[in-house]
Chains A and B, each alone.
Chain A
Amino acid sequence: MRFLLRRVVFYALTAWAAITINFFIPRMLPGDPVTALLGRMQGRIDSNAEHSLRVLFGLDQDTSMWQQYLDYWGLLLRGDLGLSFTHFPTPVADIVSQSLPWTVGLVGVATIIAFVIGSLIGTFLGWRRGTWADGLLPVATFFQAVPYFWLGLITIAVLSVNLGWFPSSGSYDRGLVPAFSGEFIGSVVYYGFLPALTVVLSSVAGWVLGMRNMMVTVSSEDYVTVAHAKGLPERQVMLGYAARNAVLPQVSSFALSLGFVVGGTLIMEMVFSYQGIGYTLYQAVSTHDYPLMQGCFLVITLSVLVANMVADLAYALLDPRTRTEDR
């Protein structure tokens, strides 16, 4: 219980830090792009919305920093992230909440697949170390070093442009109306296959290498030798004794790698014009839509924190030591 409490406090602190960073970035950086944009928007923006933008970006020169900070929190707690400049006058919160489910679906499915496949391959490689299986390591290293988006470009070039198997952009057939029907879901899966495949391809290597190194370490533990000495079948020793213990650090490193995977997925969405939050961020960056950028960062960070908390909970369930350890 104590473990969970500590984690919850930590995540609350991190969420506060992320929100505070988000508050300070536009204020600390030189230049004032927002004033220029507000000038361009003159007259088209109602005074209420303008006020919230001023609060979000620190343009009220007459209020103190502390008051600005309090106002900022007030807006956030009401779910007001300001208005988007490009999709004027749509609130940022609306745009972000429309694109978030797409990203969550893509990252979620791809990460789970990559984790399972990667850990299985890593188990095998670690168990058969020092044989031909080690020849697969350079391949894994290569995939780990390839930038996500370049792998995306290559898969588009091969599977979409040359072979024509999959669409190269978009997230569902534009001729369909979004509905909870078999046809629509099929289209989503079909369009999502290529982005998901690329995320899996580029993130699986990390899991393979991590699991393999843990297997190498765990295989020389006494309990594995004992399991062998008892004459248990090889498979059972590998999966039930060695892999079972080796997978724990994988789960705990899940939290740390998630931010990286999410970053990669955002880029992938930009490559595939997949209507998730990464693509929204991309559009915001290329049109200098500052409120939308800030909103995207905030929502991405908070979602990653929630996912991390779930991973920690899973870890506490898997590893009894975290539950008994009382310090």
Chain B
Amino acid sequence: MKNQLLFLRNGKVITGLVILGFFTLLALVGPWLSPYDPNQVSDALLSPPSATHWLGTDHTGRDILSQIIVGARGVLVVGLVAGVSATVVGVLVGVTAGFVGGIGDESLSALSNMFLVIPQLPLIILIAAQLPSAGGLTVALVIGATGWAWGARVLRAQTLSLRKRDFVEAARANGERTWRLVLAEVLPNLTAVIASGFVGTVTFAVLSQVTLSFIGITPVSDWNWGTILFWAQNNLALQRGAWWWFVPAGACIALLGMALTLVNFGIDEIVNPRLRSTGLHARSLRRRGIRPRVGFTPVVREVRS
């Protein structure tokens, strides 16, 4: 167990988790925390950041900080729902394909490869634009329905290599049922891959949803960071030099995406020890007397206390 918690000691993972925790907190308590109602208009039209409006106001005097705080929930909920639904489909398709083999595998892999090659964003736009009301959850499900293929592909490859391992064969020889083989023997060994696929999908879902809001497909009254950018773009924030309108929202998206990527790096380093040693800081390597050179990659065994 201690070995599994090891990745929490990784600096990148800690940074990522702290940022994620911050945004999660914002999503949970945001509406009570925000200084103003994000829809409340005021006389301070397009005013730069000040003591009363920390991040300034938009063209109708609405407080931008409040919009960002309230919008965090929309972004995170969509990311989570899309991530969970895509991961479930990905696990079902990928593990089944890897485990059954034969014609079932061929057709399932062909299906996921098709979904990989068809450009996702135009497909999502096409579906979302034709729905009568493309609210947050609908968009999340559409993203989930189109975004499972990458996870399925990676899981299939991993399952294929696990299927013939000795411990699975032993369990099979013991007369275990197929579903038990999959649930008890194969799935636990896929945890890291599933987790990394989940985090990747959440990143993609956040970016897609924000993009959809930015081009005005989701209702503009649902606050999320993309909606803020939609208003900014459509009211010439760029030309008016209102940087406080579009910089913070975009920075939040970038920060969230970066946090998710950092967590994913941590997971990758568990799976691939070669990357782990390079993940160590250059200085700490030198202090330990390890010189990374071509021809060999130092694989550091962490001392268990």
Write 7 A-B pairs (CB below 8 A) sorted by A numbering: A18-B118, A130-B282, A144-B261, A153-B238, A161-B239, A217-B274, A301-B122
B274 contacts across to A, CB distance below 8 A: 216-217, 220
Query: Does any Cβ of A come within 8 Å of B227's Cβ?
Result: no
What 14 new A-B contacts, CB under 8 Å, besides A145-B261, A147-B211, A262-B122?
A33-B132, A130-B285, A142-B258, A144-B257, A150-B246, A157-B241, A219-B295, A228-B294, A228-B295, A237-B294, A256-B116, A293-B126, A294-B126, A304-B118
Task: Let me know if A10 and B110 touch, CB within 8 A.
Answer: yes
Binary CB contact string for chain A from 244 to 277 against chain B (1 if under 8 A, 0 otherwise):
0000000000011011101110110011000000
Task: Let me know if A145 and B121 touch, CB within 8 A.
Answer: no
In the bound complex, what is the Cα–Cα distance between A99 and B217 (angstroms)?
A: 22
Residues of B within 8 A of A (CB-CB), count: 62
Within 8 Å by CB of A300, from B119, B210, B238, lies: B119
Task: Let me know if B110 and A213 touch, CB within 8 A.
Answer: no
Q: Which one of B122, B216, B265 has the greatest number of beta carbons of chain A within 10 Å? A: B122
Task: Let me know if A156 and B238 touch, CB within 8 A.
Answer: yes
Q: Which one of A21, A286, A305 has the greatest number of beta carbons of chain B within 10 Å? A: A21
In the bound complex, what is the Cα–Cα distance between A271 and B254 (angstroms)?
A: 18
Task: Let me know if B238 and A157 touch, CB within 8 A.
Answer: yes
CB distance from B73 to the nearest CB of A (A): 19
Query: Does any Cβ of B come within 8 Å of A72's Cβ?
Result: no
Q: Which one of B116, B215, B249, B257 has the greatest number of beta carbons of chain A within 10 Å? A: B215
A220 contacts across to B, CB distance below 8 A: 274, 295-297
CB distance from A302 to the nearest CB of B (A): 10
- Report the stretch among A24-32, A46-54, A171-179 that lies at the interface: A24-32
A132 contacts across to B, CB distance below 8 A: 282
Within 8 Å by CB of B117, from A134, A156, A308, lies: A308
Within 8 Å by CB of B229, from A141, A153, A225, A297, lies: A153
Task: Let me know if B241 and A161 touch, CB within 8 A.
Answer: yes
B119 contacts across to A, CB distance below 8 A: 258-260, 262-263, 300-301, 304
Query: Does any Cβ of B come within 8 Å of A76's Cβ?
Result: no
Task: Let me know if B130 and A33 touch, CB within 8 A.
Answer: yes
CB distance from B229 to the nearest CB of A (A): 7
Query: Does any Cβ of B come within 8 Å of A191's Cβ?
Result: no
Within 8 Å by CB of A31, from B131, B214, B215, B254, lies: B131
Task: Let me know if B215 and A141 touch, CB within 8 A.
Answer: no
Which residues from chain A sit less than 8 Å from chain B, CB to CB? 10-11, 13-14, 17-18, 21-22, 25-26, 29-31, 33, 127, 129-132, 134, 141-142, 144-150, 153-154, 156-157, 161-162, 168, 213, 216-217, 219-220, 224-225, 228, 237, 242, 255-256, 258-260, 262-264, 266-267, 270-271, 281-282, 285-286, 288, 290, 293-294, 296-297, 300-301, 304-305, 308
- CB-based nearest A residue for B133: A31
Task: Let me know if A26 and B130 touch, CB within 8 A.
Answer: yes
Known contacts A153-B229, A154-B250, A237-B294; A281 and B130 CB within 8 A of each other: no
Task: Let me know if B122 and A281 touch, CB within 8 A.
Answer: yes
Q: Closest 6 A-B residue pairs measured CB to CB?
A: A145-B257, A263-B121, A130-B292, A150-B250, A259-B119, A31-B132
B194 contacts across to A, CB distance below 8 A: none
In the bound complex, what is the Cα–Cα distance between A213 and B130 (angstroms)?
A: 41
CB distance from A317 to the nearest CB of B (A): 20
CB distance from A110 to the nearest CB of B (A): 16
CB distance from B11 to the nearest CB of A (A): 11
Known contacts A145-B258, A255-B117; A216 and B297 CB within 8 A of each other: yes
Which residues from chain B sit less than 8 Å from chain A, CB to CB? 110, 113-114, 116-123, 125-127, 129-132, 150, 203, 207, 210-211, 214-217, 229, 232-233, 238-239, 241, 243, 246-247, 249-250, 253-258, 260-262, 265, 274-275, 277-278, 280-282, 285, 291-292, 294-297
Task: Let me know if A259 and B250 touch, CB within 8 A.
Answer: no
Task: Let me know if B260 and A145 touch, CB within 8 A.
Answer: yes
In the bound complex, what is the Cα–Cα distance between A141 and B281 (angstroms)?
A: 16
In the bound complex, what is the Cα–Cα distance between A224 and B293 (angstroms)?
A: 11
Known contacts A130-B282, A146-B253, A150-B246; A25 and B118 CB within 8 A of each other: no
In the bound complex, what is the Cα–Cα distance between A216 and B131 (angstroms)?
A: 46
In the bound complex, what is the Cα–Cα distance between A137 and B118 (angstroms)?
A: 30
Task: Let me know if A141 and B258 touch, CB within 8 A.
Answer: yes
CB distance from A284 to the nearest CB of B (A): 8
CB distance from A206 to the nearest CB of B (A): 11
In the bound complex, what is the Cα–Cα distance between A231 and B302 (angstroms)?
A: 34
Known contacts A147-B207, A161-B241, A282-B215; A297 and B122 CB within 8 A of each other: yes
A25 contacts across to B, CB distance below 8 A: 126-127, 130
In the bound complex, what is the Cα–Cα distance between A59 and B217 (angstroms)?
A: 24
- CB-based nearest A residue for B153: A256
- CB-based nearest A residue for B149: A256
B254 contacts across to A, CB distance below 8 A: 142, 145-147, 150
Task: Let me know if B118 and A134 touch, CB within 8 A.
Answer: no
A162 contacts across to B, CB distance below 8 A: 241
